[in-house]
Structure 1
Amino acid sequence: METQTQFFRDTWAEINLDYLTENIKNIKQHIASDEVEMFAVVKANAYGHGDVQVALTALEAGAHGLAVAFLDEAISLRKGGVQAPILVLGATRAKDVNLASFHNISLTTFSLEWLEEAANELEETSSLRLHIKCDTGMGRIGVRSAEELKKMETFINSSSRLHLEGIFTHYATADELDDTYLDRQLEMFEEMLGVLDERPRYVHSSNSAAALRKSTTHFNAVRVGIAMYGLSPSQEMKGVLPFPLKEVFSLHSRLIYTKELKAGDKISYGATYESSGNEWIGTIPIGYADGWLRKLQGQQVIVDGKRSPIVGRICMDQCMISLPGPLKPGAKVTLIGIEEDEAVSIDEIAEKLETINYEIPCIISTRVPRIYIRNGRPAEVSNKLLSTGGEMKN
């Protein structure tokens, strides 16, 4: 395997770009309209999958543009060679608007006060593309009244250096099957659209959940995040997904040491695990500093095609598992993913941690290298501690 960055321990995540491509193409086919553009959401290092690699693949698969949370993330994509439209969904400091202009990045505006400050900061030779965020019930950022929205439109249109490129909102309950609150938000958004002199190029409100199950929210653009990574937006939605999703992220390690315990032998900090008889134990080089949290004690992994539990407390850099037999160091261990007839899903890990699936790939730290699978084989290794990534090699 030819790689751009080597890594020197036996723990890694695999990012299957073939699955990412398939998910995106299925989503586009489900939307079934050439008039609806897709923005692939690659914030938070593409939900822990790798920003540049996922962005380039998403664009190849048919995404029109990209969405991130912060200006830093957008600039990282530009430096990685991404030339497609990029929208920053979150707040950007007004004093940084010239940087956004230089990198041809669209920003979100959410108040008249911010607009006035940004206009004062903008250099005479610069121009800025803007999307207005409407708060229809999410309660984070956004203009909350049609009156203020109208003032913002008028202010933008009065300037030759400000360009109203888009307008959007975000749904708080799109991943729930009860549409009462979603419909209320949609109605409010449509009322706000009605006060504009002219609708901008992009009108978007759908996240993954709304894009998959509520066509009335599509307008002419959708923002797809969690679904393109192969994860259901909620447990509630699993039964109504229009097609199967393929998990893009998997996590693996290898046994670095094995030993046979006798009855009464103890394992790890606090000596919380005690062997009840002769038992083979293996050590793998992953711990809570990698995002494999202490609360995962007792969680099963897959080794030698069998499920095996984590025993004792998870350490910062290592943890121990009870083995099905006397395995040798070097044997592969799958913490998330499919191995032979067994599977450990991201949803299973999320349930163990009492959280949502979004959080799991995000918390696997950057010191865990990502290996990118393309055309069924490894294409690149990226480790954020050592490299910012780059073009994939085939």
Structure 2
Amino acid sequence: MNDKWRVTKMQAEQMDPYYRDTWVEVNLSAIEQNVRSLSHVYKDQNTAIMAVVKADGYGHGAVPVAKSAIDGGATFLGVAILDEALELREAGMTTPVLVLGRIRPMDARIAAKHHIAVTVFSKEWLVSAKEYLDSSNPLTIHVKCDTGMGRLGITDPKEIKEMVQIIHGSDAFYLEGMFTHFATADELDISYYQEQFQQFQQFINQLEEENISIPLIHCANSAAALRFPKRAFNMVRFGISMYGLSPSPEIKHQLPFPLEPAFQLKTRLAQVKKLEAGKAISYGATYVTEREEWIGTLPIGYADGWIRAHSTNGGTVLVDGEELPFVGRICMDQCMVRLNSSKEEGTIVTLIGHDHGQELSMDSVARRLDTINYEIPCIISKRVPRLYFKDGNLISVKNQI
């Protein structure tokens, strides 16, 4: 381990062992601080923060991220599927959890048993799920409204009245929330966001006309929560920005506080060798040395989520603060970079993160692949161990192999 990783012998004995020189570093203090900073934005409002930890905490690790988010002030958790909610419960977490995607009606009983709230967007689902429930253990529900995302949700404000009648007409359900999701809140042009907000307001007005009160109303994702706090109702869903990433490059300058990235991806040089001119590198011999070149082999590849496009779109790494290019095609388990000089085997190589005062940000890696920053940590596979740091100390390791 690097000398900067301070850890006691007792802590080390409680950590998962790992046996490779490629790893992710997750800064849990950054997660906590990002949530705390958002809490400060809403300090004068009675607004709860839902920490969205779906997709294994956007690749960071759902359970440790959730715990850090709660330490920072989050009081609710959001996931995409029931399995993710159950993982939190199995880890001993009792914080309220909402499944933001659809669950099967037949699984409603499982959700109710574990006090997991679910998303509902059709009368038919309610009727079907009711057959699996009983009044002794009601299912908590958040109604999803489709105001222009075109994904899950009811589209007619009048339909919500019929759904509420079904919910209130049965002891098997408890109506806790209603929400929608914005499609363009991370864009400079907010006209479509305005349209969606007004459509959601129509759903709320329909409830008010029927004298229906719902405890939690939420519409703001990270972008909306950071840009439009006065329109957040009484809960916001903090996703991408909890991990220290801007929802889009365009609005980064509009954010009310600096975000602290929590994710770094690192490896070590497995072999260093000097090749003479005319030597081909990797599959397909797509790269041929033009002169004597130092080539470093890295133990990471597309099976780790470091896809081949990194080597075809001008990808680079940091070695001792120098930005160096990939050469040849990325393989399943390994890839190669061109070094400026001989380096010791075992030298740390940074693929995402900081090194000697230089940085390869998640945004720059996303631009390389013509994608969004959300996607990058999510596709780094589970065979890459996650090392968790708090206040500069290594506190745990998660190795899922």
Q: What TM-score range do you get, normalising by the shorter chain?
A: over 0.9
Equivalent residue runs for 1:164-179 within 5 Å: 164-179=175-190
Equivalent residue runs for 1:338-357 within 5 Å: 338-357=354-373
- CA–CA distance in structure 2, aligned partners of residues 154 and 372 of structure 1: 47
> Identity over aligned residues, as a percent?
49
Q: What runs of 5+ residues in structure 1 fail to find an aligned partner?
A: 386-394
Equivalent in the alignment of 1:132: 143
For the residue of structure 2 that corresponds to 1:84, the secondary structure is: coil
Equivalent in the alignment of 1:73: 84
How many residues were matched structurally? 385
- CA–CA distance in structure 1, aligned partners of residues 61 and 366 of structure 2: 20
Q: Does 1:47 align with 2:80?
A: no
Equivalent residue runs for 1:1-394 within 5 Å: 1=7, 2=12, 3-196=14-207, 197-297=211-311, 298-385=314-401
- CA–CA distance in structure 2, aligned partners of residues 33 and 97 of structure 1: 37
- CA–CA distance in structure 1, aligned partners of residues 30 and 134 of structure 2: 44
- CA–CA distance in structure 2, aligned partners of residues 154 and 383 of structure 1: 48
For the residue of structure 2 that corresponds to 1:97, the secondary structure is: helix
- CA–CA distance in structure 2, aligned partners of residues 122 and 227 of structure 1: 37
Moved more, 212-221 or 312-321: 212-221
- CA–CA distance in structure 2, aligned partners of residues 50 and 120 of structure 1: 35
CA contact (8 A) 1:110 1:134 kept: yes
- CA–CA distance in structure 1, aligned partners of residues 59 and 232 of structure 2: 26
How far the C-alpha of 1:349 sits from its partner, in A, is: 0.8
For the residue of structure 2 that corresponds to 1:194, the secondary structure is: helix
- CA–CA distance in structure 1, aligned partners of residues 400 and 152 of structure 2: 30
How far the C-alpha of 1:106 sits from its partner, in A, is: 0.4
- CA–CA distance in structure 1, aligned partners of residues 73 and 254 of structure 2: 24
- CA–CA distance in structure 2, aligned partners of residues 239 and 14 of structure 1: 26
Deviation string for 1:186-243 (max 9, x for gaps)?
Answer: 1111111112222211100000000000123210000010001000001111121111
- CA–CA distance in structure 1, aligned partners of residues 41 and 277 of structure 2: 57
For the residue of structure 2 that corresponds to 1:187, the secondary structure is: helix
Q: After the TM superposition, which parts of structure 1 deviate over 3 Å for at least 4 consecutive aligned residues?
A: none
Q: What runs of 5+ residues in structure 2 fail to find an aligned partner?
A: 1-6
TM-score, structure 1 length as denominator? 0.96
- CA–CA distance in structure 2, aligned partners of residues 348 and 146 of structure 1: 42
- CA–CA distance in structure 1, aligned partners of residues 310 and 261 of structure 2: 20
TM-score, structure 2 length as denominator? 0.94
Moved more, 154-163 or 288-297: 154-163
- CA–CA distance in structure 2, aligned partners of residues 81 and 256 of structure 1: 39
Deviation string for 1:261-283 (max 9, x for gaps)?
Answer: 11111111111111111111111
How far the C-alpha of 1:161 sits from its partner, in A, is: 2.1
How far the C-alpha of 1:127 sits from its partner, in A, is: 1.0
CA contact (8 A) 2:135 2:171 kept: no
For the residue of structure 1 that corresponds to 2:349, the secondary structure is: strand
How far the C-alpha of 1:33 sits from its partner, in A, is: 3.1
For the residue of structure 2 that corresponds to 1:301, the secondary structure is: strand
Equivalent in the alignment of 1:389: none
Deviation string for 1:137-191 (max 9, x for gaps)?
Answer: 1111111112210001111111122110000010111001222111111111111
CA contact (8 A) 1:166 1:200 kept: yes
Deviation string for 1:21-79 (max 9, x for gaps)?
Answer: 11111111123335100000000000000010101110111001100011010001100
- CA–CA distance in structure 1, aligned partners of residues 253 and 130 of structure 2: 48
How far the C-alpha of 1:124 sits from its partner, in A, is: 4.8
- CA–CA distance in structure 1, aligned partners of residues 44 and 27 of structure 2: 27
How far the C-alpha of 1:384 sits from its partner, in A, is: 2.6
CA contact (8 A) 2:134 2:171 kept: no
CA contact (8 A) 1:252 1:332 kept: yes
